[in-house]
Amino acid sequence: MDVGLFFLMQRDDAWDERQVYDSALAQMLEAEGLGYESVWIAEHHFNDYGLCPAPPVLASYVAARTTTLRLGMGVSLLPLHHPVDLAEQLATLDVVSGGRLDVGVGRGGTLQDYQTFQSDRGDSRARVEEGIALMRECWRGAPFDFRGRFHSAERLHVRPRPVQQPHPPLFVATNSEDSVLSAARLGLPTMTSFFVPMAEVQRRHGVYRETAHAAGRSKDEIADLEGRSWLMRAVHIAPDRESALRAAEPPWMSYQWKMSRLRSDSSGGSVPDSFDRSMMKLRAFEEYVKEGWIIAGTPDEVRDRLERDLDAAGYRRLLLVMALPGLDTPLALRSMRLFAEHVAPLMR
């Protein structure tokens, strides 16, 4: 089983911006030695919900300090970029990292993001799909012409060519059912966010299969795509359950508070029409734990819950959110080590 770590780079009110980077980098650079397969960095702009507007820059630093760890874009907000510019940046990162890049793409972002980068949020789905097609052409390493709704090119020859061929692995963020349908039509594996309830994850898994089959893909192709998809879960592990819950509650509730503000209509948040708005409402911490939004406890308790979730939805790749905002770095590193030493070796 591949296990990666996901970094929102979110700032707790008690931390300054440098502390967020210092803590995240300490965890990223520890990951390789503990056996984690990858680290993924989220792209956000203009607010402390996420403090990394340029994941390729941060990933380049991590690449230079590691040898086998894969670097994931989690995700690149494609509608906010020119696809050719993003393709060039990512190809360069793939070259300097020795072919260790994974590329997640999505269409999140606030209304301010879209206004600032002069992109129409109403066209975001079409921009993602066209952008993926254009980036794939860029990565072929040969001159090409392109005619799209938003972009065009004549005899364009993009350099450098990525190390990984035909291109770095692509994934689609599936925070909504519309994204699931798009990923299935495009024939790309998915990245399911940790705030999507497991019952909905299971239902969408069936929707993905049906849509991919309707698009002409064989059972073997669909099984391969599902096998490369990621299930994301928020996790904190401690030697005893009480310590785990006590450490996880403040940063988890800080995250939920920021999410409720970012996703609100008044702030121009990025909730699509198909998003379940009940998921934005603040709840008691005990309710989040009971429903599995965050999995906190001993190694045995966390392993049991993760195995149930993975089995229920049929996933074989797991992305863990351990870098909760404001969580002391030693506690985050302890959680990482406990997972690596006492959970991962025993998972089915």
Domains in the chain (CATH in brackets) are 2-346 (3.20.20.30)
Read off the pLDDT band of 1 (50, 70, 90): confident
Does residue 5 register a pLDDT over 80?
A: yes
Is residue 38 within 8 Å of residue 102, measured between CB atoms?
Answer: yes
Mean pLDDT score, 2-22: 96
Q: Read off the pLDDT of residues 291-301 as tens digits, 9 standing for 90 and up.
A: 899 999 999 99
* Residue 14 in tokens: 């008690």
Sign of torsion over alpha carbons 209, 214, 220, 224:
negative
Which 8-state DSSP code applies to residue 48? T
- Give residue 281's pLDDT band: very low, low, confident or very high (50, 70, 90): confident
If you average pLDDT over residues 8-27, what whole number do you get? 96
How does pLDDT run across 305-330, given as a tens digit for each residue? 999 999 988 899 999 999 999 999 99
Binned at pLDDT 50, 70 and 90, residue 280 comes out as low
183 near 160, Cβ under 8 Å?
no
- Band (pLDDT 50/70/90 cuts) for residue 24 is very high
Stated as kind and residue range, the H or E segment containing 303 is helix 299-313
Q: How confident is the model at residue 254 (pLDDT cuts 50, 70, 90)?
A: confident
Q: What is the C-alpha separation between 153 and 172, in angstroms, rounded?
A: 24
Instruction: Report yes or no: 282 and 264 within 8 Å, Cβ to Cβ.
Output: no
More confident residue, 259 or 145: 145
Mean residue pLDDT across the chain: 93
Where residue 262 falls among pLDDT bands split at 50, 70, 90?
low
Provide the 3-class DSSP secondary structure of residue 239.
coil
- For the segment 181-191, the average pLDDT, to the nearest whole number, is 97
φ/ψ of 190, rounded to 5, equals -115, 165
pTM: 0.94
Q: Which amino acid is at 250?
A: P
